A and B are shown apart, each in its own frame.
Chain A
Amino acid sequence: MKITLEVDVLTNNNRAAAFNRQLFEETNTLVINIMSSPGAGKTTILEKTIEALANEFRIGVIEGDLATEKDADRIRALGAQAVQINTHGGCHLDARMIAAVLPQFDFQHLDILFIENVGNLVCPSGYDLGQQHKVAVLSVPEGNDKIPKYPTMFMRTELVLLNKIDLLPYLDFDVEQAKEDLSCIHPQSKLLPLSAKTGEGMDEWLHWIREGVARCKKQSISQ
């Protein structure tokens, strides 16, 4: 017998994402899904961000990697709560993996949850985790051709952190070309050059986060 199903292949993921999103909204938590190639500097940016904001906000982190607790250990060393998800070969985090670890966080006492996705510029872009914001990290050594070469990622992220700008004098990265490529693929997106190592440009990133937290809290007052 033939059964007509007519369902989106990612139905189960999207259902879990909706569940996550509802929890984040009800608890006024700012949730940011950070994606990049391996080695672009996601964890270092998070370390510096936590150091800078530790006195203002209560921060939690979900770390996604194929193996090891290395990244979660780096976050825990700063006193923030971190939960490591090991995908055991899986190339991305999905919304069910996130839902499974959410009970480990106390959302009544959390302002920001960062989700550091598996290092991969392709697959993570296809999965909604329930986050309010998707942020990509691109680093100077990768080259400015990555934006047009991996359009699915940069079409879906509203902010691109261009990390390791302290290396610009030594490498042939064309920042203006990267900005132009990004505005062509996703006109509403913004490229934010910074160096997690030297701290240059970090203030604007921190400002963007503060605005995000303020929006979450404001929603709760108006409700």
Chain B
Amino acid sequence: MHEMALMGEIVQLIEQDAQMKKIKYVKKVELLVGTLSNVLPDALQFAFDVYKMQANNCLTMNAELIIHIEKAKAVCAICGSQYEPVTKIAQCPACLLPSGNIVAGETFRILAYEGSLTHENYIGS
């Protein structure tokens, strides 16, 4: 989709939080990305690397991006069976109808980040 813009949102949200906690350097970011969230992990990694190269944000040059994948899950509204849909049009393997309500797989969240208050801390680690 538009992973550069989305990474901009991620960096902004982390910076907002880091500023309140007086954290200056961010060296690790953990995300949870659902397989149906329309976000490509490879493109996110590329966008993260681009942001790292820019000096005007909190990410350090060797910052790490960890992407946890959330598997898709749907529950069929007709027969109640649970299954892993491949697309957002969640066709039930038993009923063969697009009758699934998606209950997992659309998440796109920042879980956590790791940072330090001073420059020295992260160079030493």
10 further A-B contacts with Cβ under 8 Å, apart from A3-B112, A6-B112, are A3-B23, A3-B113, A3-B114, A4-B112, A9-B10, A10-B108, A11-B9, A90-B5, A91-B5, A151-B89
Residues of B within 8 A of A2 (CB): 28, 112-114
Among candidates B2, B9, B21, B114, residue contacting A12 with C-beta atoms closer than 8 Å: B9
Binding site for A on B (CB under 8 A): 1-2, 5-6, 9-10, 12-14, 17-18, 21, 23, 28, 31, 38, 87-89, 98, 108-116
| Interfacial chain B residues near A185, Cβ < 8 Å | 89, 98
- B interface: dominant SS: mixed
Determine if A9 and B1 form an interchain contact, defined as CB atoms under 8 angstroms apart.
Answer: no
- Select one of A3, A13, A155 contacting B17, CB under 8 A: A3
Given the complex of chains A and B, what is the CA–CA distance between A92 and B38 in angstroms? 15
Q: Which residues of B contact A151 (CB under 8 A)?
A: 87-89
- Measured CB to CB, the closest approach of chain B to A209, in angstroms, equals 29
| Choice from A1, A7, A122 contacting B13 with Cβ under 8 Å | A7
Nearest B residue to A91, CB-CB: B2
Does A123 lie at the interface of the complex (its beta carbon under 8 Å from any beta carbon of B)? Answer: yes
- Count residues of A near B (Cβ-Cβ below 8 Å): 24
Tell whether A3 pairs with B115 under 8 Å between CB atoms, given A8-B108, A185-B98: yes
Chain A residues, Cβ within 8 Å of B88: 151-152, 155
A-B contact pairs, 18 of them (CB 8 A): A2-B112, A3-B18, A3-B23, A3-B115, A5-B113, A6-B109, A6-B112, A7-B109, A7-B110, A9-B10, A9-B108, A9-B109, A10-B9, A91-B2, A123-B1, A126-B38, A152-B38, A184-B98
Closest to A181 in B: B89
Chain A residues with Cβ below 8 Å from B21 are 3
The answer for the CA separation of A155 and B89 in the assembled complex, in Å, is 9
Q: Is the interface of A mostly helix, strand, loop or mixed?
A: mixed
Residues of A within 8 A of B111 (CB): 4-6
Minimal beta-carbon separation of B117 from chain A (angstroms)? 8
Q: Is the CB of A13 within 8 A of B89?
A: no
Nearest Cβ on chain B to A183's Cβ, whole angstroms = 10
| Chain B residues in 8 Å Cβ range of A1 | 23, 114-116
Contact B114 A8 (CB under 8 A): no
Kindly report which residue of chain A lies nearest to residue B36, judged by CB atoms.
Answer: A152
List the 3 closest pairs (A to B, CB-CB), nearest first.
Answer: A123-B2, A4-B112, A9-B108
B38 touches A5 (CB 8 A): no
Out of A3, A5, A92, name the residue touching B2 (CB < 8 Å).
A92
Q: How far is the CB of B87 from chain A (nearest CB, A)?
A: 7
Please, which residue of chain B has its CB at the minimum distance from the CB of A186?
B89
C-beta contact mask, A77-95 vs B, less than 8 Å → 1, else 0?
0000000000000111000
Interface string of A116-152 (1 = CB under 8 A from B): 0000001100100000000000000000000000011
Q: Mark A95-126, 1 if CB is under 8 A from B, else 0.
A: 00000000000000000000000000011001
